[in-house]
Chains A and B, each alone.
Chain A
């Protein structure tokens, strides 16, 4: 049984971050392939989705193993070869599916909380502005 305790929202958000992180990785690769460092650094610093950037590397290995991303090595002028990650077609499918689910979830929660002007009408249905 899941019991709600005051102050647990923070823990929930942390869990949710952990849950969506793989899809955020896929999303970052959606438009172009990226190499390890820029991917990891963006997710950590720019988007603040992980506290320890290093934990993204095991995640990338997992996505690779599951066939959702592919890697290739490219020579770089400024040092050792870089490992570039790109989305596979399976990865694209997984990302699309997640996007749809995420949209639905977000719309519902937003409507309930009343964010974005969409509130519950008298009929109990969400009114889109």
Chain B
């Protein structure tokens, strides 16, 4: 969904414009005109949240899809950035918040989150595959407990409230329509950045490292440095998502990066598909829709609305069990089958 705007901004010549498929234009049109046909709840709660979770899951997709490193740390990085905005900016906890202007606290938050991601990445790249998952999960848990216990910096159990975006150009960015465009813009920029990096020399080398680290090392690439750099880049993206998240909720507490939230990000990225950058956004949309509407749906069937986790869990289980590459994979296989069935010459598929 964020694709469309990215294509628009990155297309300089008419040749580029022609290459963009019709579907993207339609999507761009739908997304840009959403405030006309959608109500505020849909814009703020559904779409805003989708873009935010999509951005955080996108950082996981970048690490897992292009780097082959499944990191469960991204939610913690995002939450750290959110905390930093609350600490350096303004919040309801005036004893801790420093109240620096937005052009200081946002860059500082992103830089600190990126440094944290890099440090943990340096630790995590010493391990491979399943070990990476376990170590990042353990560090994410440590982050959660640390923020819950620490009252000096992170204000412990209650966290920070009243963290709102700055008023720029006379616009209150937390009103539904401006916030919708803000998240849409950020999602588009992050999407564009991931697409660009995946085609840049660094991204190509990273994919080489994913596929065959020994060969890349033999070719003279510094495998470890590429992996750590991938963590830093993903950390920046997650930090952007985290800042938007704290603005949307207007508060942040240890629960923001609790184990369930950490696993939700993995669920979103995997359900959407780790192969392409659009996957996380599709996964996020499915997750948010389920999360928002399944209580009503369950109540209609006489079940308690609290069982939405069961639905999400079962859905996730079904997707990973039957289609390891997520919803995108299902879609591509369906397209492939249709294409093969239609082949008129051989009759047996192309």
A and B associate: no
